[in-house]
Amino acid sequence: MQAIEAKLPHLITALPGPKAKQLVERDHRVLSPSYTRDYPLVAKKGHGALIEDVDGNTFLDFAAGIAVVSTGHCHPQVVAAIQKQAAELIHMSGTDFYYPNLVELAEKLASIAPGKEAKRVYFGNSGTEAVEAAMKLARYHTKREKFIAFYGCFHGRTIGSLSLTASKAVQRKSFGSLLSGVFHMPYPNTYRGGYGVRPEHASADCLAYLEGELFKRIVDPEDVAGIFIEPIQGEGGYMPAPIEFLQGLERVCRKHGILLVADEVQSGMGRTGKWWASDHAGIEPDIITVAKGIASGMPLSAIITRASIMNWKPGAHASTFGGNPVSIAAALATIDLLERSYISNAARMGEFILKQIADWRERHKIVGDVRGKGLMIGVEFVLDQKTKEKAPELRNRVVQMAFEKGLLILGAGENSIRLAPPLVIDEEQAEGAIRILDACISEAERSM
């Protein structure tokens, strides 16, 4: 316990340690080989922004369980809420019965969603379930069938959400036909441009493609039920959509009666320094999908919609476990903590980190771009800053070296890393992570 009370990494064995090696071998014999593990971390316990492995090594966690543990690992207030609720009521199924905290959380989510219109909330268990629910509701409400999503996007792995996802071919390979009527378009990449050119015109180029090409040549806008967008792409490399693009996309949707669906599974719940990444653009999505950081690690998701949109009838859609009382208790505690302290801390620490690493493009020849909002920060690696040739192997090397130095990070997209720590980090931890990562990048450069 003493090691995990520190603020920075503390390694006492070679990695992986002996106990970790044994467990990895057992894992490989019985767990699905479809899981992706970048390095052999075998977690035993966590506190705040720190993880201790089975061999007693302490790591600084800048991955947060893939942007999930927003209030840090095992926050005492969240743990207490879980324990109290588990002793009172573990399951009842809100699709068939009523219970108080189900209503309380729905009211709270409705109150923090953007826009003046009243809201309604549906609960599920995971991000992909939220996206599936949003797809079904969009079809139900509009009486239209088709959808538009973006290259580089990740919306989930179940058949409906996978039909939207356009991140990696391996995620689609060998699964046969997906949903028909799903079309993709370029995302406004402000580093590379919508087509790899004119990054300064990314927003205008992508909006022009939507109305001038996609709507005229491929799909009539009157057939489109919804456009799904991540305000900051996750698997796309932690790339924020420009404010003017999100505002323009909202105008297009309103013009054609298309529902604008903001996938805030990774970017929501305060991670960007506001409740929702779309808040930075001042837009009002018709549907918001929520998961990951909503309950500090407990399985829970939701869609929040304008009340006039959620007009499906009883039995049209439901989930046995969605809105589990214990997960909801964790979510209510999480929202309280975010509201009182951690959203503002995310904004402050994000600004601090971005300022500290702003010169990496000048100091490191393999860093092509640094971007993000709040504590959702991406660093893109290239072989050449002029040609912007992607450097996935160098990115992978940096991720591995960071682990070996006690810093947990993950890749994002083909050649970027994501910095997505718990929203509880302080300046000492931010500086510690920056030092480690800076050293790893320098070491990777020397190996070229």
- Predicted TM-score of the model (pTM): 0.95
- Can you list the residues of the chain whose pLDDT is less than 50? 1-3
Q: Which domains does the chain have, with CATH numbers?
A: 79-339 (3.40.640.10)
Backbone φ, ψ for residue 351 (5° rounding): -60, -40
- In this structure, the strands spanning 301-306 and 119-124 are antiparallel
| Residue 168 pLDDT | 87
Of 59, 42, 63, the C-alpha closest to 50 is 59
Q: Report the side by side order of strands in the sheet with 287-290.
A: 119-124, 301-306, 287-290, 259-263, 224-229, 146-150, 182-185
Q: Which two tokens stand for residue 180?
A: 């028909």
Closest CA to 373 of 193, 284, 260, 241: 241
With beta carbons less than 8 A apart as the criterion, state whether 166 and 149 touch: yes
Compute the distance between CA of residue 180 and CA of residue 99 in angstroms, rounded to an integer: 39
Q: What is the reported pLDDT for 3? A: 46
Sign of the torsion angle spanned by Cα atoms 187, 377, 273, 128: positive
Residues 231 and 240: their CA atoms lie apart, in Å, by 6
Neighbours of 356 (CB within 10 A): 16
Query: What CA–CA distance (Å, rounded) separates 303 from 293?
Result: 14
